[in-house]
Structure 1
Amino acid sequence: MPTLIETLLSLGILKKQDADYLKEESGKTEKSIEALIYEEKLASEEEVAEAKSKIFNVPFRKISEGTEIPEDVLKQISEEAAKFYKFVPLGKRGGILEIGILNPGDFEAKEALKFIAAKEGFAPEFFIITPTTYEQILKRYKTFGEEVTRTLKELETEAFIERGPGIELPIEAPGEAEKIAKEAPIIKMVAVIIKYAVEGRASDIHVEPTKDNLRVRFRVDGVLHAALSLPLNIAPAVVTRIKILSNLRIDETRVPQDGRFHTKVGLKDIDFRISTFPTSLGEKVAMRVLDPSTGLRGLPDLGLQFNNLKKVEQGIKKPFGMILLSGPTGSGKTTTLYGILNILNKEGVNIVTLEDPVEYYISGVNQSQIRPEIGYSFATGLRNVLRQDPNIIMVGEIRDEETASLATHAALTGHIVLSTIHTNNAVGIIHRLIDLKVAPYLIPSSLILCVAQRLIRRLCPRCKEKIKANPEMEKLILNEVSKLPQAIQKELKVSSPIYVYQPKGCDKCLSQGTRGRVAIFETLTMSPQLEKIIIEKPIESEIIREGQRQEMTTMLQDGIIKVLQGLISIGEVVQATEIEK
């Protein structure tokens, strides 16, 4: 029987050097070949499933997201068996139960299923499924509320047994919170909160004490949503459990603390960045969810397309120079930087980053977290990085004159420098550098590319509603599309009447009408004409005129393109780009 590596090679999915790497790395780390393939993004889940299908002669079943599995079908296989043996029910046809399995070569799993089939009175039919499909179906067994309720009951039962009826948990007492935090129900409670936050695509978890309860909220697509309320008397234990995970001082509740921990949620390796904050009602905890599968993405996945994508791809091929990204906090700049780093991350280059904080760990990149409280700033780090023989330097943010000067000189001396800077648009980056005392004559030689971006909520593909644009919106769309390059206009094929999409809301998007986010961009490249403007007369109107000559797609125009593609709503684009209606 051929191996997974051999089959992927024969299908042309793996390269010989990748196969050699997988064999060597698997021996070193004891990780499975399949886990390494996903970790290094050498093949997709579907490609691996197709290869397994060929090896075991078992058909691959693709299940689309949102496919409902009837409750009577789920009941045929217990949740415990599904978790332990890695198989789930997919559907039923007469006396046949369709079974989705991750590893058809698992003899124990097949034997267990034979036993279950004989007991329940069905004949199993196997299909290979992807890990993502397996996790999605596994979620159907329980709801968030059910798990939380069950855990609270366990906690109450333990309190009753240990302390007797009618006695409240005195967890405000010294040492009691730590004791309770190490008990199984509290450990499970925090694990359940984390699990559902990750599965719900939350970017942040907020654990907040109020006068009446402990409120847990998830930030999804930039908006905070209430997740659940817990009894106030378990608040210290929940916070203490999070502190224990993050290696923070559990006896210090008077000052803020920062920490970090790593855990596996389903098949995902997730990092959590923790911040505690003292309030008058107790400690509040904010947890940033750092999921590499969402944070490390290709440039088109981020929203770059047409001219913007072409300019970025050309810019990162330059041997040296500075690429600067601008936008407000939370506009996705760091995610775009990581996307660029992923492309540049090759065996023959030395990449060093200075970050505050390190959000995602990238294999092969030397990442350093600055610590201003001990004098290790972006500027200090940049001076020392230049002694590390780097090819590519990423600086989290250029926020002062010293960092701006050092970054400019690093770009002039043969390094690629990636960084972020706070301005309203791509044109403003040049003025911001001049404000930071970078000599205008140095900018054309050092600056390759200016990128500005904003994040917009994606419309839910399942429930978005098609409507006719009102006259005001149609006028705006037609006006901006007329300024786009002819090639883009030809592809969009815009004519009156114009139809756009608006959010509606369904169970898939939690009635929000949106699911996920996508960025809108504008890019400005250095050119001989722009060089002349910067040196002679760096007026914004002149730089904008040069951008128009370059056929620069503005953020508004990029947003309108995505509106016409049915990805986002026109209202959010207008709001994000601060255009007067």
Structure 2
Amino acid sequence: MLEIPPQKLRELLVGESLMAGDAFDAIAQEAERFHQSLSDTLISRGLITREYFEDLLVKYFNVQKADLERRGIDLETLSILPEELSRRRRVIAFKREGDNSVDVAMEDPSDLETVEYLERYLKAQINSFLASANDLNKGFSLYGRQSSENFQKLIEEHVLASLKSQAQGEEEKAEEVPIVSIVDNIVSYAISLRASDIHLEIFNDLVLIRYRVDGILYEIVRVRKEVFPAIVARLKLLSGMKIDEHSKPQDGRFRYKVGTDQVDIRVSIMPTFYGEKVEMRLLTGADRPLSFAELGMLDDTIKIIEENIKKSYGMFLVCGPTGSGKTTTLYAVLGKLNRPQVNIVTIEDPIEYDIAYVNQTQVNTLAGINFASGLRAFLRQDPNIIMVGEIRDEETAEISVQAALTGHLVLSSLHTNDAPTAIPRFVDMKIPPFLVSAVLNVLIAQRLVRRICTNCIISYPAPEEVTAALKVQVKKLGVENYVKIPETLYKGKGCSVCNGSGYAGRMGIFETLNVNEDVRKIIINPDFSLDALRTVARGQGMITMFEDGIRKVEKGMTTLEEVLRVIRE
């Protein structure tokens, strides 16, 4: 990764009055402690943006930005470098300049060894450009787009080869080359498409392979049933499961390497009527926690969160259904709080990402470790900050509240549809209202919406029928006085980058309830009602998820259809 020397970066940031010198020195020490790049630490703390740092790199090193969203990527040029080489060297060939010159986006254009290697490999002059993480991800994803037909053909070839195999027994079949290749191709293709999940499902006459990309499931390929037991056996072998166990659910995980990147894959196997169903969750290891802005939070939401995480005790709760991004938000908060002066502990099910210098424990029911017992044990470990993956039961709720009352900052998640309903949910778990009001600092509810692909975004006047439908929804939600109907809408027209979907990536829409004195009075009122709570929260400036979504529709970050889809779910 290209970096500006720390002393020079300090001069630039202090000179532009972006931060004080002692604040920079503290961040530099923190980056060294966590073995992170200084720029990543500054970005994750929200002190500078990724775009600002890239502009500094361009000026300091006198290089051009690749800006592949604007320049585009020629697929024929992309294919002159194998995907494995591109990922390993962190480069994207995107345009030919005549017969003897190639434009290449590079993570580090000053890496002369890579430039010389590419010139020898391509027998051409290399024009190097500074590539952002988005540039590289865009290029890597295009390898997957252009190989869709090749992927299906490869799977079919390996299936036929496996059917001809003389291998005997599940373990022997799991180790044979065709089955190993099938599993490798299923996983690597999913990674190239930015899939979060892989589903392998067996039915009466076929096996269906589906990927979840940006929250939506897509059918990818169908394979013959005869090879499925060997595929499942291979995944069990990789994940450390019992190969000969077919009647009980099993869970495991393994690590898959793609170029210089590592992907942790969590595997769940469940018996069904026709055989075992496999679900794989792909956990791409992040170099750093995401910043609040990268999650999709707007300035007013960020301000409330940053004010509340400065508190040394109380509860910070993130609410929403499964798959709404709660854990990612909690990790972003931990990233903001993680510093040498505090002891942070977590109890999770499962641990999705490894966080430097945070003591993480995974729920293990066989060993007697659940959320409640793990939390109770951690209270004897002198913690400052405790993250509980989820509050599911009365015991966990009670211990979490006691921890928050005794000088600990407790972060957790709760399954509720919006922020206000978290309060009666706590009361349902036998927590008295006066304790609920005493411990809660802030409640955040969220959903995930797909981002419009920035490579093919277009604007258009809002059609009358869409405006009419939106007015109906606004009235139904009772937010007529708060929502402005957009006159201009945005969408992605579809391109090779987004595989024709018009979307690339996801972000959150948020509802933030700041628990202040007025809200606390409502909570302890014997005549408590959600309507009264919402009215007071409104008066304090609470913005609903729907309103936050409409703001992002206006800004061209997502579509109206996406906001309505997740709000109605």
TM-score (norm 2): 0.83
Range with greater deviation from structure 2 (138-147 or 513-522): 138-147
Q: Are 1:522 and 2:511 an aligned pair?
A: yes
Equivalence for 2:329: 336
Query: What secondary structure does 2:323 align onto?
Result: coil
Equivalence for 1:146: 150
| 1:499-556 per-position Cα deviation (integer Å, ceiling 9, x unaligned) | 2235654443333333322222212222222222222332222212211221211222
Whether the 8 Å contact between 2:84 and 2:258 is mirrored in structure 1 is no
| 1:59-103 per-position Cα deviation (integer Å, ceiling 9, x unaligned) | 444141486544554566566876777665432233431242566
Equivalence for 2:397: 404
Whether the 8 Å contact between 1:144 and 1:192 is mirrored in structure 2 is no
Whether the 8 Å contact between 1:148 and 1:189 is mirrored in structure 2 is no
Equivalence for 2:443: 450
Residue pairs, 1:449-468, within 5 angstroms = 449-461=442-454, 462-464=456-458, 466-468=460-462
Equivalent-residue separation in structure 2 for 1:549 and 1:325 (angstroms): 21
Equivalence for 2:525: 536
Q: Are 1:254 and 2:244 an aligned pair?
A: no
- Specify which structure has the bigger relative contact order, considering alpha-carbon pairs within 8 angstroms and separated by 6 or more residues: 2
Equivalence for 1:164: none
Whether the 8 Å contact between 1:453 and 1:521 is mirrored in structure 2 is yes
Equivalence for 2:272: 279
Range with greater deviation from structure 2 (125-134 or 412-421): 125-134
* Structure 2: runs of 5+ lacking an equivalent: 14-23
* Residue 253 to residue 37, structure 1, CA distance change in 2 (3 Å): farther
Equivalence for 1:92: 96
Deviation, 1:320, is 0.7
Equivalence for 1:30: none
Q: Are 1:64 and 2:62 an aligned pair?
A: no
> Which letter maps to 2:517?
P
Equivalence for 2:558: 568
Larger Rg: 1
> Which letter maps to 1:562?
K
| 1:344-370 per-position Cα deviation (integer Å, ceiling 9, x unaligned) | 111111111111111122111111112
Residue pairs, 1:52-451, within 5 angstroms = 59-65=63-69, 68-70=72-74, 73-74=77-78, 89-100=93-104, 113=118, 115=120, 122-127=124-129, 129=131, 133=135, 136-137=138-139, 143-150=147-154, 152-153=156-157, 156=160, 168-169=164-165, 173-174=168-169, 177-293=170-286, 296-451=289-444
> Which letter maps to 1:300?
A
Whether the 8 Å contact between 2:85 and 2:259 is mirrored in structure 1 is no
Whether the 8 Å contact between 1:500 and 1:569 is mirrored in structure 2 is yes
> Which letter maps to 1:97?
S
Whether the 8 Å contact between 1:307 and 1:553 is mirrored in structure 2 is no
Q: Are 1:472 and 2:476 an aligned pair?
A: no
Equivalent-residue separation in structure 2 for 1:310 and 1:22 (angstroms): 24
Q: Are 1:11 and 2:9 an aligned pair?
A: yes
Range with greater deviation from structure 2 (214-223 or 74-83): 74-83
Aligned with 1:547 (options 515, 537, 540): 537
Deviation, 1:218, is 0.2
Deviation, 1:322, is 0.7
Whether the 8 Å contact between 2:196 and 2:214 is mirrored in structure 1 is yes
Query: What secondary structure does 1:240 align onto?
Result: helix
Equivalent-residue separation in structure 2 for 1:559 and 1:71 (angstroms): 34
Equivalence for 2:487: 498
Equivalence for 2:20: none
> Which letter maps to 2:425?
R
Superposed CA RMSD in Å reads: 3.8
Whether the 8 Å contact between 1:274 and 1:286 is mirrored in structure 2 is yes
Query: What secondary structure does 2:360 align onto?
Result: strand
Equivalent-residue separation in structure 1 for 2:387 and 2:554 (angstroms): 35
Whether the 8 Å contact between 1:444 and 1:531 is mirrored in structure 2 is yes
> Which letter maps to 2:515?
M
Range with greater deviation from structure 2 (474-483 or 207-216): 474-483
Aligned residue pairs total: 546
> Which letter maps to 1:533?
I
* Residue 300 to residue 469, structure 1, CA distance change in 2 (3 Å): farther
Equivalent-residue separation in structure 1 for 2:304 and 2:49 (angstroms): 28
Whether the 8 Å contact between 1:321 and 1:448 is mirrored in structure 2 is yes
| 1:233-258 per-position Cα deviation (integer Å, ceiling 9, x unaligned) | 32122222211211111122221110
* Residue 184 to residue 530, structure 1, CA distance change in 2 (3 Å): same
| 1:311-361 per-position Cα deviation (integer Å, ceiling 9, x unaligned) | 211111111101122222222222211111111111111111111111122
Range with greater deviation from structure 2 (134-143 or 474-483): 474-483
Range with greater deviation from structure 2 (523-532 or 39-48): 39-48
Equivalent-residue separation in structure 2 for 1:349 and 1:577 (angstroms): 37
Whether the 8 Å contact between 1:456 and 1:573 is mirrored in structure 2 is yes
Deviation, 1:286, is 0.3
Equivalent-residue separation in structure 1 for 2:280 and 2:147 (angstroms): 22
TM-score (norm 1): 0.81
> Which letter maps to 2:374?
G
Deviation, 1:413, is 0.4
Whether the 8 Å contact between 1:521 and 1:558 is mirrored in structure 2 is yes
